[in-house]
Amino acid sequence: MRLRALLIAMCLAISMIPVAIIGGFQGFQIATAFLGIIIVVTFFVSLFISYFITLPLEKLTKNIDEISKGNLDVKMEKSEIFEINKLIESLNRVMTSLKLAIHKVGVKKGEIFEETMKAKGEVEEKYETLLKSIDDWIWETNEKGVCNSCSANITNILGYKPNEIIGKNIFEFLAPEESKKVKNIFNETVRKKQHKTSKFETQLVHKDGHNVCVLTSFATVFGGSGDFCGFIGMGKDMTESNIAKEKNEDLNKKLVDMKERMRDILNEREKFKDNSSWEKTRDKLTEEKFDGMFIFDENANIIDCNKNMCKILGYKKDEMLLLNLADFDCLETQENIKDKINKIKKQGKINLKTIHKKKNGSSIFVSENIQYLKDKNMFKCNVKEDSLP
C-alpha cells in the first residue's frame, strides 16, 4: 500500500472516534448528522497531511535514483520534516565522502558507475550464455522449495516452459512415489541448516504425463548473514542413458552365455584329442594357409601383425599394436590367457578355436595355431576365419 493512501485511511479511521463519542452521549441520530461533516473535513485534512509528508519523500527517491546512475552533483532540497532533513544530511555526507574517494583515486565519477553497469551486464550475459550451453536443467528455490529461477532446458526434459515452473513448488513435479523420499532429503537439509551437496536419481512427471528419470544434484544456499535461503541445483535427463545401460547389460549377459556355450563345445572337442582323425584334422589345419598372423609377448601384448590380421579385425596396424590378446579374444580372461601361455611354452604349439571381437563390435569364429618362438620368448599366432560347428 502506498504511504499516501495509508495516511488517508488512518485519518478516516481516527475520525470515527469522535462520532462514536457523540453517539454515546447524544444518541445515534445526532452522531449520524455530524458523520458526513467529520468525514469530509477529515478527508481533506488527511489529504493535505499526506501530501505534505510524501512529497519530500518522492523528491528524495528521485534524487537517490539519479545518484545510483552516477550523478553525484544532485542537489537535494531541504524539507520541513525534521527526520527527512536528517536523512538528507546523511546522504550529503556520504556523497561528499564518495566524491573525495573518487578524487583520490583519480578517476572520473561517471566511469565508476559506467564500468560497474558494464561489468554487471557482461556477467549477466556470460551467465545466460553458460545456461544455454548446458544441456542440463538449472533451477533455484527458496527455503520452502518454491522455484525462483529456471533455465530454458526444462522444456527439453519435462516439456514445461520456465514461466510454468517459476513460482510453483518443485515437489509438484515429482512422481507421487518419489515425492516423500525427496521431501525427506530436503527437510533434513533444512532442519540441520548446514552447507550440503547431494546427488540422486528421481522420477519427475513430464507435461504429457509420462515419468522421466532425472539425475538431480543440489546444494544449499545461505545469505550473507548466514541465513538459509534455499537450494540451487541441476537436473540431467537419464532416460536414454538408463536404456543404453540396460541394453549393455543384456548384451553382456548374452556374451557370457555364448562364452559358456563355446567352452562346452571346445571341451567336447578336447575329449577327442587322442583320436587319430582329430590328429589328422589338427595337422591339416596347421599346414594350410592361414588368413592372418600376429605376434605377442608373454604378457599377451601384441607386438606385430600382418595386413590380413588388421583386415580381419578392422583395426589399423598402429591400433593393433596397442591391444592385448584379452581385448579381442571373447572367450578368454587375462587369467586364462596366462594359463594358456604357460601351456604353449610346455607344448611348443597348440591349435584351438575361439571367438574374436572386431573393432565394430561384431564377432567372428576363428581357428588359431599358436607357436612358441623360444629363442625370442615370443608367440606367433596364425588365424583363419572359421564357422561354428
Q: Virtual CA dihedral for 104, 109, 111, 114, nearest 10 degrees? A: 140
Q: Residue 142 CA to chain centroid, in angstroms? A: 18
pLDDT value of residue 6: 63
pLDDT at position 365 over 80? yes
pLDDT at position 371 over 90? yes
Tens of pLDDT, residues 116-136: 556 555 655 665 665 565 667
pLDDT value of residue 66: 72
Alpha carbons 172 and 133: distance in angstroms, whole number: 27
Please report the sign of the dihedral spanned by the C-alpha atoms of residue 311, residue 313, residue 316, residue 317.
negative
Alpha carbons 308 and 315: distance in angstroms, whole number: 10
Nearest to 214 by CA among 197, 237, 193, 192: 237
At 264, is the pLDDT very low, low, confident or very high (cuts 50, 70, 90)?
Answer: low
For the residues of 88-106, what is the DSSP string, one character each?
Answer: HHHHHHHHHHHHHHHHHHT
Instruction: Give 303's DSSP letter.
Output: E
At 345, is the pLDDT very low, low, confident or very high (cuts 50, 70, 90)?
Answer: very high
C-alpha cell read off for 364: 567372428
pLDDT value of residue 317: 92
pLDDT at position 147 over 50? yes
pLDDT at position 35 over 70? no
pLDDT value of residue 265: 59
Tens of pLDDT, residues 208-218: 888 888 888 88
Residue linked to cell 537419464: 238
Say what the pTM is.
Answer: 0.35
**SS3 call for 237:** strand
pLDDT value of residue 176: 84
pLDDT value of residue 285: 43
pLDDT at position 268 over 60? no
Alpha carbons 95 and 113: distance in angstroms, whole number: 14
pLDDT value of residue 284: 47
Q: Are strands 349-357 and 363-373 parallel, antiparallel or unpaired?
A: antiparallel
Per-chain mean pLDDT for the chain: 76
Domains and their CATH numbers in the chain: 3-105 (no CATH), 134-237 (3.30.450.20), 246-385 (3.30.450.20)
Contact (CB, 8 A) for 178 and 184 = no
pLDDT value of residue 101: 67
* Residue 240 or 228, more confident: 228
pLDDT at position 237 over 80? yes
